[in-house]
Each structure stands twice: as structure tokens, then as C-alpha cells.
Amino acid sequence: MKKAPPALAGGLLLLGVFFWGVTFPVVKEAMRTLDVFSFLAFRFFAAGVLLFAMYYKKIVRCSKATIIKGIGIGALLALSFAAQTLGIKYTTVSNAAFITGLYIIVVPAVVAILDKRAPGGAQTLSVIMALAGLTILTFTLPFSLNAGDWWTLLCAFTFGLHVVSMGRMMGDVDAEAFSAIQAMTVAILCGVAGIFSTGGLDFAAGAASWKAILFCAVLGSAFTFTVQARYQRSISEISAAVIFSAEPLFAAIVANFYPGINEPLTARTLIGGLLICAAMAVSGAKTAKTPK
């Protein structure tokens, strides 16, 4: 499949990251009345149904490679989301955002191992800037790790692997068909986990939880993961990770206005956000000069 211009790919990925950031306080609110695996199963099932309805013809004609990769990478994503959602349930939104964002370190480390060479100077600088911005934005003292933080740390590792997989394994697959299969894989695995862990899925969720499920399904899953499947291949994995590091910035902004959370914006939000934006500019400039 022909690659998109890096600027277009980066812009669409950033829009998806905005929706991911919005889901932080939305998920936090939903977890008050709904268990983790029910939420994820319903969210990704709804996303999968939407994608199957939109791209049915592509799905029935998709290649064996698309099916295998959709299931395999979907299983990795299921583990990542289960860990993140468990983390959000037991820790603060800011802690979850900071620790999840540590995949900005995981991605270049995995890329260096696979390529057997260190990232270039511009990419290394962009990662350092993004990590600094993330730290200023979300890190607080005293800092201690609770059960939720450890789950979120597992999410950071598995999502880093997901980003690398999406950058290196999507060349011969149909993005829309892949996204539908990936979503259904996550839904099935989380549904099975919910049945074994709690004895069944909770269909008696309140109206607020169903609204959160639909929002996350349509914008946070169906839209964003399809965009990632189609456009991440147009930029490097490290550039994608730097773009994704803006997620906690959007989460912090939305958490300030979200009813029931109202976490205040501070000068740290501005400084950290500016550093992350600068990191994206550095990484984007390098990507534009050196297309893959």
C-alpha cells in the first residue's frame, strides 16, 4: 500500500492521540460502576461491529496474513488495555498517564535491539524531550508505586511492543480489515477473561458507563486504531511514539474540565506540553527529510 505524506500521517495520528487522551477521565468515571473486562469487552465489541459493518467487503476478501496479524497483534493490545484499565481503576489519572507514557523509552529500546544500532541523533533528542515533557507534565512527589501503577507499567511495555509491531508488520495487510479483526480479538479475549475472573460480564451498567463505552468504541478504538493501522507505516516507530506521548497532555487538559475529576491545569502542564510539542517538531522534521 502506498505510504501517505508524513505530515498527513502525523496529523491524523495526533488527532487519534487526542481521542485517547480524552478516554483517560472517561474510563476513570466508567470504572466506578463497571468492571474492567466488561468495559473492554463491550468497548471493543462495539468497535469491531462498527468496523465490520463499514468494511465488510474488505474483510471477507482479506488475506491470511491480515487475519493472523490481526489476531496476534490484537492479543498484545488486549493485554495492554487490560493492564492500563486495571491501572486507571486503582491509581490517579496523572500517575496512569505518566507511567503509560514510559513506552516512549520502550519503543527506541526495542527498535535498537531489532536494528542492532542506536537511533539517530534527532530521534534520540526527540525521545529525551518527550520524556522530559512527560515528566514535567505528570510526575508528582512523593511518588510511590501501588498495584495500579504496576499494572500501568505493564501497559507501557506491551503498548511499546504494539507500536513497534504496527510499524513493522503492516506492509502487506489491509488496514481496515486488520483493525476490525484486532478489535474483535480484544473483545473476545477480554470477554473470556471477564467470565473466568468474575463469573460473567456486567450487562447492567449504568447510562454513564454505556456512554463511555460508545465514546471509547467509536473514537478511541474504531477511528484511532484504524488510523494507526493505515498511517503509522508512513513514519518511523520512534516518531510515532513521540506523537503518542502527547496523550497525557490531552488527558490533563480534559481532566481539568471533566465533571467529578477537575484536576487543575498548572504551569507544569504548559511547560511539559510545550516540550512534547517541540519533540514532535524535531522528530517530524527528521521524518520528513528521511522517508522510510
φ/ψ (deg, to 5) at 255: -60, -25
The model's pTM is 0.85
Count CB neighbours of 280 within 10 A.
Answer: 22
Say how far apart CA 267 and CA 275 lie, in whole Å.
12
CA 129 to each of CA 33, 236, 249: distance values in angstroms, whole numbers, following the listed order = 38, 17, 14
Nearest by Cα to 248 from 77, 143, 144, 96: 96
Q: Tens place of pLDDT for every residue, the chain, 292 residues?
A: 667 888 899 999 999 999 988 887 788 778 778 888 899 999 999 999 999 999 999 999 999 999 999 999 999 999 998 898 788 778 876 677 778 888 888 999 999 999 888 888 888 899 999 989 888 877 766 666 677 888 988 999 999 999 999 988 888 889 999 999 999 999 999 999 889 887 888 887 778 888 889 999 999 999 999 999 999 989 989 999 999 988 878 887 887 777 666 667 778 878 888 898 898 888 765 544 344 4
Three-state SS across the chain? CCCCCHHHHHHHHHHHHHHHHHHHHHHHHHCCCCCHHHHHHHHHHHHHHHHHHHCHHHHHCCCHHHHHHHHHHHHHHHHHHHHHHHHHHHCCHHHHHHHHCCHHHHHHHHHHHHHCCCCCHHHHHHHHHHHHHHHHHHCCCCCCCCHHHHHHHHHHHHHHHHHHHHHHCCCCCCHHHHHHHHHHHHHHHHHHHHHHHHCCCCCCCCHHHHHHHHHHHHHHHHHHHHHHHHHHHHCCHHHHHHHHCCHHHHHHHHHHHCCCCCCCCCHHHHHHHHHHHHHHHHHHHHHHHCCC
Write down the domain spans for the chain.
6-289
187 half-sphere exposure, CB direction, 13 A CA radius: 19
Whether the CA torsion 192, 73, 234, 14 is positive or negative: it is positive
CB 156 within 8 A of CB 102: yes
- The per-residue pLDDT for 139 is 72
Look up residue 96 and give its three cell numbers.
496512569
Nearest by Cα to 208 from 7, 30, 16: 30
φ/ψ (deg, to 5) at 147: -60, -40
Whether the CA torsion 38, 39, 43, 44 is positive or negative: it is negative
- The per-residue pLDDT for 289 is 39
Residue type, 259: P
Look up residue 110 and give its three cell numbers.
526495542
Write down the residue that cell numbers 473483545 correspond to: 187
- The per-residue pLDDT for 93 is 66
Helix-helix angle 121-138:267-289, to 10 degrees: 160
Say how far apart CA 254 and CA 225 lie, in whole Å.
21
Say how far apart CA 229 and CA 283 lie, in whole Å.
20
CB 163 within 8 A of CB 244: yes
